[in-house]
């Protein structure tokens, strides 16, 4: 006959064996996120500057919060096609003109992709793309400007399930202004801003969802 102690021992043995099998299964088949994906990001963006030709002063862009979204479509076992949108509302600093609260809206629209060196759907990946940046000041006498831009970055995808995961990313952006004339100036502008290129960096955390 089996006593209570013997039954308890056997129960623990069964539980231990089951856990061992489950752990071996997880180790053999790491959790991955497969299928088409959509990600919403919150970020923090830094960098970017212009030169005021009237006094040769550097006008920087204030660092601050940003948000982004991406659509990811698998191409093969290691790469995805990506459409990426990013937005930041910032200010010129210093801005020694009548309204110091003038804003600059930055919108990036990029087409590119991601590459997972190990396996699609988990772990480290490289990301990049090319597209356009729309820069729209709120200051009177200034108009929006759209220029070609690109982005490169690195990220890490942590699957929470087959359908939900968290992305951590660091991206760098470069917008080719490439103009000797005053950018934004649409008549009556009090500052003549120029730049050959505007570069920014960003740190992002995103919640990613997958669907077929």
pLDDT over 70 percentage in the chain:
78
pLDDT value at residue 150? 97
3-state helix, strand, coil in the chain (%, to 5): 10, 60, 25
Pairing of strands 36-46, 145-159: unpaired
**Best CA proximity match to 123, nearest among 167, 83, 74:** 167
**Best CA proximity match to 68, nearest among 48, 47, 42, 104:** 42
**Banded model confidence at residue 100, pLDDT cuts 50, 70, 90:** low
pLDDT value at residue 26? 47
Q: Identify the CATH number of the domain defined by range 33-211.
A: 2.40.160.20
pLDDT value at residue 187? 66
DSSP 46-95: E--EEEETTTTEEEEEPPEEEEEEEEEEE-SSSEEEEEEEEEEEEEEES-
pLDDT value at residue 25? 45
Q: What integer best gives the mean pLDDT of the chain?
A: 83
Please name the helix (run of DSSP H) or strand (run of DSSP E) that holds residue 101, with its range, or none. none
Q: Give pLDDT tens digits for 37-56.
A: 999 999 999 998 888 777 88
pTM: 0.79
Mean pLDDT of all residues in 95-102:
62
Domains of the chain, residue spans:
1-30, 33-211
């Amino acid at each position: 006959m089996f006593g209570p102690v013997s039954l308890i021992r056997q129960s623990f043995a069964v539980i231990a064996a089951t856990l061992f099998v489950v752990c071996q299964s997880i180790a053999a088949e790491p959790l991955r996120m497969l299928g088409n994906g959509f990600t919403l990001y919150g970020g923090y963006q830094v960098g970017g500057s212009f030169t005021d030709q009237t006094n040769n002063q550097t006008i920087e862009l204030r660092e601050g919060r940003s948000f982004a979204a991406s659509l990811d479509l698998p191409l093969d076992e290691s790469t995805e096609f990506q459409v990426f949108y990013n937005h930041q509302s910032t200010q010129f600093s210093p801005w020694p003109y009548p309204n110091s609260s003038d804003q600059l809206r930055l919108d990036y629209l990029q087409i590119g992709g991601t590459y997972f060196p190990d396996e699609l759907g988990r772990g480290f990946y490289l990301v990049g793309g090319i597209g356009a940046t729309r820069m729209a000041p709120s200051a009177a006498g200034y108009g929006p400007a759209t220029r070609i831009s690109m982005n490169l970055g690195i990220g890490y995808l942590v699957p929470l399930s087959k359908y939900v995961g968290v992305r951590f990313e660091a991206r760098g952006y470069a917008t080719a202004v490439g103009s000797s004339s005053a950018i934004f100036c649409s008549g009556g502008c009090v500052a003549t801003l120029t730049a050959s290129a505007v570069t920014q960096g960003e740190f992002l955390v995103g919640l990613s969802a997958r669907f077929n």
